[in-house]
Structure 1
Amino acid sequence: MRHEVTDADTATSVGSGDVPVLATPRLIAWLEAATVRAAAPFTAAGQTTVGTAIRVQHLRATRVGGRVEVVAEAPAAAVGRRLTFLVRAVDGAGELVATGEIDRAIVDRQRFLAAAPDPQTGVWPAR
């Protein structure tokens, strides 16, 4: 997946810093989106994946107008319901912007949503 850094993607804009370069939270969102796509072959009807852990090093700044390609390499197989993706981001000059791992869990979509707390009250469903 390729992205061009815009003003809306900067640390200044998302509140994670005060410099106009690609924000780490935006970069992580792009990396997670790549894992969602890469996880699709591991899910059956009625299933989805949810993020459970992120271990990413943001190594290089990218200015507004710069391009970043993000890649998520899927594991050969799930370990139980767990998937660990190797992720990386490379800029238009071919320099490594970020590297790491993102974990996702395979869940039943309806059961997962039913178990989430009520958005108005924050109360968890009875178990």
Structure 2
Amino acid sequence: MREQPDQALAPGLTARVELTVTDADTAQALGSGDVPVLGTPRVLALAEAATVAATARDLPSGATTVGTRVALAHLAATPVGRTVVAQARLTEVDRRRLVFEVDVTEGGQTVAEGQVERVLVDRARFVQRAGAAT
């Protein structure tokens, strides 16, 4: 992807997404454990959804972001029926590399926290290259 002359994305962008935990979101259902609480893979997907939402309105035409690195601490169990909130904040922009701080909470308690890195790419070119790899 060509560098954009004006930086379209800047630190400070934020987004918030919510999820009410269902049986399908549990560690049992996801195969990441055998307990009926919010599974870590679902926590990660929610955190990533918040990062995507944080930049969605400000992406250059034809661009998207793809995840490249995650560091996530899953700190508390969340039972079915409770609502968790993921908040992402863009903290660093290094050319195409975007770094987000993420927090997932439930009722004021921290459920998970960490950092997600994404890279800005040309959507069509990325999809074409991914198809060529198969």
Unaligned regions of 5+ residues in structure 2, if any?
A: 1-16
In the alignment, which residue of structure 1 is the partner of 2:82?
66
In the alignment, which residue of structure 1 is the partner of 2:103?
88
Q: Supply the AA of the counterpart residue of 1:91.
A: E
In the alignment, which residue of structure 2 is the partner of 1:53?
69
Query: 1:115 & 1:54 partners in 2: Cα distance?
Result: 23
SS of 1:68's equivalent?
strand
Query: 1:48 & 1:115 partners in 2: Cα distance?
Result: 14
Deviation of 1:117 after TM superposition, in Å, equals 3.9
Deviation of 1:40 after TM superposition, in Å, equals 2.2
* Structure 1 segment 114-125 matched on structure 2, within 5 A: 114-118=128-132, 123=134
Residue 121 (structure 2) aligned to one of 107, 112, 120: 107
Preserved contact between residue 42 and residue 78 of structure 1 (Cα < 8 Å): no
RMSD across aligned C-alpha pairs, in angstroms? 1.3
Deviation of 1:41 after TM superposition, in Å, equals 4.6
Question: Number of residues paired by the alignment?
Answer: 118
Q: Supply the AA of the counterpart residue of 2:96.
A: R
Greater share of strand residues, 1 or 2? 2
In the alignment, which residue of structure 1 is the partner of 2:31?
15
Query: 1:3 & 1:64 partners in 2: Cα distance?
Result: 11
Query: 1:35 & 1:16 partners in 2: Cα distance?
Result: 23
Identity fraction in percent: 48
Deviations along 1:49-98, one digit per CA (max 9) or x if unpaired, are 000001000000000111101100112x5201000000000112x11000
SS of 1:62's equivalent?
coil
Q: Supply the AA of the counterpart residue of 2:50.
A: A
Higher relative CO (Cα under 8 Å, sequence separation at least 6) belongs to 2
Deviation of 1:11 after TM superposition, in Å, equals 0.2
SS of 2:77's equivalent?
coil
